[in-house]
């Protein structure tokens, strides 16, 4: 068995081996063009060959070349950034599934942060979402087997399976002392970019955009056509928890609001430098648009929000976005393998770079202090850029909203109720007892509330009156939402759920105060002016 220190040494050695194979031709060409530089590279290749020869000659046991080469490649790529990765043929298939088709799974977007597989966002309407899996949860076990240190691809492989089968995942959640278990039944996860779109009571349209996949533009156009046929006076586009997706879809959806032949984003790198413009002639949309974002809005969603901000076509509200602004290119290798390499960074029209450099260190498990993060944020806030109409916008490393709005806080009691699926199970029993009837216009009575609390107690959940008082509105709303879901479907249930959404409610209120986007921009500028003073 190879000991950890031996393995580390071998990874380093074989990394040179693989590197030499990739760069030998480059070194030869460079030698003819630039002798001093190539001489150094050639000597490194010679050194590699010498080390490899000695390793094969003297190492105590035979080594599995295939395993060593894969470890070497992964070790080499690991010295770059967390988004540059190696794929086996199976892993490549899993990777491409995230933007196409459907699969049997739980319904979560994940990433590896340090040694832990971490939930970036649950996908709305999926088993994980219904059970209360939330952004920031660390998946420490699957079916009792440790997930610590595994790659995202291996984690996906273990969590996916046949539709209808069950899987137990163990979560470590910030703020909770002990890990918690969830038993989840796998379902067919259909990837839909626009799960909800409807007209609000005040005449404003609402579109929830969950990701940028191959059908996003067609889904968005259909939603816009339906809402505009109903005569909306404004629009809210909700990009919170949107992890991004396909760049071309982000550009094409921006196109719907800013028009044809407008610069959306540039990619700048050593070998990749492109400017991406909108392509289609579209009708002018004169109603005001608000884009909602939060800390989990990333990549393509940041391009969308920042572009509407840069072209003065949308006011951005919420919290600073994630800051994932690097460009990856998928390059096929022999035997069906592939490599995903970071080749450039995104810069939107105003000149802002979306990428937040500290995220790379965090995702790689490096220690980043609070002081480091605060210093980075402060520097970003001091960077001033200008929109098409000369409005000031700030920062890099994510999109800074025109108006900052804090999100709701869910109490630990509320978290526990969702984790144990109490709302879902109570709604099932309630509807059985009431002949599957529930009036969606009715409020949750005190009797139903007490019945729910008794049900929670019977399921081992302990609470105080203070817990109930602090979560009363959340509990009543969620009970009603679950009951309506089973009677009227997900869309009607979602409308009830968002009635308690602080960020959304503030966006809706802004339409009641101001009729035009320019008035909203002026209000945002006045708020920022007060902060600067």
Active-site residue (options: 252, 310, 402, 467): 310
Domain enclosing residue 274, as ranges? 196-326+344-406
Give the C-alpha separation, 467 to 315, whole Å.
Answer: 37
- Classify residue 68: in a domain, yes or no: yes
- Quote the pLDDT of residue 431: 86
C-alpha torsion angle, residues 278, 281, 282, 285 (rounded to 10): 70
Q: Are 427 and 483 within 8 A, CB to CB?
A: yes
pLDDT value for 38:
52
For the question of residue 324 being annotated catalytic, the response is yes
Q: State the pLDDT at residue 502.
A: 92
Task: Specify whether 233 is located in the same domain as 305.
Answer: yes
Q: Terminal CA-to-CA distance of the chain, rounded, Å? A: 64
Same domain, 350 and 210: yes
H/E/C letters for each residue in 420-461? CCHHHHHHHHHHHHCCCCCCCCCCCCHHHHHHHHHHHHHCCC
**Counted domains in the chain:** 4
Q: Are 275 and 352 in contact (CB under 8 A)?
A: no
Identify whether residues 153 and 247 lie together within a single domain.
Answer: no
Residues 392 and 434 both lie in one domain = no
- Catalytic residue flag (residue 252): no
pLDDT along the chain (533 residues), means of 10: 42 39 39 50 78 79 77 82 84 61 75 80 79 83 92 86 90 84 87 91 96 93 97 97 90 97 94 92 95 94 97 96 88 84 93 89 80 84 92 89 89 85 86 87 93 93 93 93 84 88 95 96 87 53
| 424 and 301 co-located in one domain | no
In this prediction the pTM is 0.73
Q: Kindly report the CATH number assigned to the domain that includes residue 312.
A: 3.90.226.10
Q: With respect to residue 337, please indicate whether it lies within any of the assigned structural domains.
A: no
Domain boundary among 190, 219, 250: 190
User: For residue 50, what are the CA distances in angstroms to 6, 36, 385?
Assistant: 18, 22, 53
Instruction: Determine the pLDDT at residue 258.
Output: 97
Please check whether residues 131 and 273 belong to one and the same domain. Answer: no
3-state secondary structure string across 230-261 = CCCCEEEEECCCCCCECHHHHHHHHHHHHCCC
Do residue 34 and residue 137 come from a single domain? no
Give yes or no: residues 136 and 273 share one domain: no
Q: Do 372 and 394 have their domain in common?
A: yes
Do residues 373 and 358 make contact, with C-beta atoms less than 8 angstroms apart? yes
Among this protein's residues, is 299 annotated catalytic? yes
Q: What is the pLDDT of residue 513?
A: 96
Residue-wise burial string across 477-499, b where 16 or more C-beta atoms lie within 10 A, e elsewhere? bbbbbbbbbebeebeebbbbbbe
Residue 132: the pLDDT is 82
Which residue of the set 138, 192, 324, 420 is catalytic?
Answer: 324
Of 367, 386, 406, which marks where a domain is finished?
Answer: 406
Catalytic residue among 172, 193, 297, 299: 299
In this structure, are 390 and 421 located in the same domain?
A: no
pLDDT of residue 491: 83
């Amino acid at each position: 068995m190879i000991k950890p220190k031996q393995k580390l040494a071998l990874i380093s050695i074989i990394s040179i081996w693989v590197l030499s194979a990739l760069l030998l031709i480059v070194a030869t060409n460079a030698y003819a063009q630039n002798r001093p530089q190539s001489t150094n590279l050639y000597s490194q290749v010679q050194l590699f060959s010498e080390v490899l020869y000695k390793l094969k000659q003297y190492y105590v046991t035979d080594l599995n070349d295939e395993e060593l080469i894969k470890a070497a490649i992964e070790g080499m790529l690991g010295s770059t950034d967390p988004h540059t990765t190696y794929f086996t043929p199976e892993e490549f298939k899993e990777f491409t599934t995230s933007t196409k088709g459907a699969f049997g799974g739980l319904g979560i977007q994940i990433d590896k942060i340090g040694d832990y597989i971490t939930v970036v966002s649950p996908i709305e309407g999926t088993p994980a979402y219904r059970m209360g899996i939330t952004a920031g949860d660390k998946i420490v076990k699957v079916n009792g087997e440790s997930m610590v240190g595994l790659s995202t691809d291996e984690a996906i492989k273990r969590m996916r399976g046949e539709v209808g089968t069950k899987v137990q995942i163990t979560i470590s959640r910030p703020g909770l002392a002990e890990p918690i278990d969830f038993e989840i039944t796998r379902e067919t996860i259909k990837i839909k970019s626009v799960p909800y779109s409807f007209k609000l009571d005040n005449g404003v349209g609402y579109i929830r955009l969950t990701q940028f996949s191959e059908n996003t533009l067609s889904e968005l156009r259909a939603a816009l056509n339906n809402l505009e046929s109903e005569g909306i006076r404004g629009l809210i586009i909700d990009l919170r928890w949107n992890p991004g997706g396909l760049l071309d879809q982000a550009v094409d959806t921006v196109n719907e609001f800013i028009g044809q032949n407008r610069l959306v984003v540039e990619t700048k790198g050593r070998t990749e430098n492109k400017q991406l413009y909108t392509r289609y002639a579209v009708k002018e949309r004169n109603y005001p648009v608000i884009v909602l974002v939060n800390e989990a809005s990333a990549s393509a969603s940041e391009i969308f929000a920042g572009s509407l901000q840069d072209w003065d076509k949308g006011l951005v509200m919420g919290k600073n976005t994630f800051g994932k602004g690097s460009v990856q290119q998928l390059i096929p290798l022999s035997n069906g393998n592939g490599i995903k390499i970071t080749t450039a960074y995104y810069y939107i029209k105003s000149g802002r770079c979306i990428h937040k450099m500290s995220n790379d260190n965090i995702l790689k498990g490096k220690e980043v202090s609070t002081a480091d993060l605060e210093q980075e944020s402060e520097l970003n806030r001091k960077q001033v850029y200008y929109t098409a109409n000369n409005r000031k916008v700030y920062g890099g490393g994510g999109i800074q909203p025109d108006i900052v709005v804090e999100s709701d806080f869910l109490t630990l009691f509320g978290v526990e109720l969702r984790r144990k699926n109490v709302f879902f199970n109570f709604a099932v029993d309630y509807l059985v007892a009431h002949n599957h009837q529930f009036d969606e216009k009715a409020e949750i009575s005190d009797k139903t509330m007490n019945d729910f609390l008794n049900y929670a107690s019977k399921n081992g959940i302990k609470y105080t009156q203070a817990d109930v008082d602090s979560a009363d509105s959340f509990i009543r709303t969620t009970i009603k939402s679950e009951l309506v879901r089973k009677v009227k479907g997900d869309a009607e249930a979602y409308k009830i759920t968002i009635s308690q959404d602080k960020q959304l409610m503030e966006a809706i209120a802004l339409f009641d105060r101001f009729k035009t986007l320019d008035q909203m921009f002026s209000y945002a500028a006045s708020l920022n002016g007060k902060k600067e003073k």
